[in-house]
Structure 1
Amino acid sequence: MDQSEIAIAVREVVRVLVPDAPTMADSASLNSLGLDSLASVELTLRLEERFGVIFEDDELAFGNFESVATIVDLLSAKTVT
C-alpha cells in the first residue's frame, strides 16, 4: 500500500469519527476539525484494525496523530513490505 492509498484510508476513518469535518487537507490539525481525546483513542483502535498494526506506547504521542500526514508517515513506516 503506497502513501496515497494510506492517506485515503486514514481520511475515511477520520470522517467516521468526525463526520462534520469539511474536506480536510493532509496537514490540517485533527483537533481543530473536532477530534477530541475520546475520539483519538477510537481513531488509534480503528487504524490498528484497518491496517493490521499495533501502535507501541512510544508511538502514541500526540505528534504522530496530529494530522492525516503525520498518521500516514507513521503507518508508512509500520506497513513497509
Structure 2
Amino acid sequence: MPSPTILTRLFDLSPAEARLAAALASGDSLGVAATNANITYRTASTYLGRIFDKTGTHHQAQLVALLKGAYVPVAPSKGE
C-alpha cells in the first residue's frame, strides 16, 4: 500500500488525511481507521470528504482502487 508520505506528495493531502487514506487502502473501515487514529468518526468523515475532493473520487471503493494503483513498489538497488 502507498505510504502516507507518498499520498501527501501525490494528492496534496494533509498528513492526517494521508494516514486515513492509507488505512482505508489497507482495508480498514472508516470507523476502524478513525478509532486507530484517535479521532471521531465525524472527523474521519470530514477528512474523507476532503480526500475525495483532492483525489477526484466520489466513493470509498473508488478511492481505494485509485490508491492501490498509486502504489509503486521500489526495487532494491543492486547493492542491497
Same fold (TM over 0.5): no
Query: Which of the two has greater helix per residue?
Result: 2
Larger Rg: 2
Range class of TM-score, shorter chain: 0.3 to 0.5
Higher relative contact order (CA 8 A, sep 6+): 1
TM-score, normalization by structure 2? 0.40
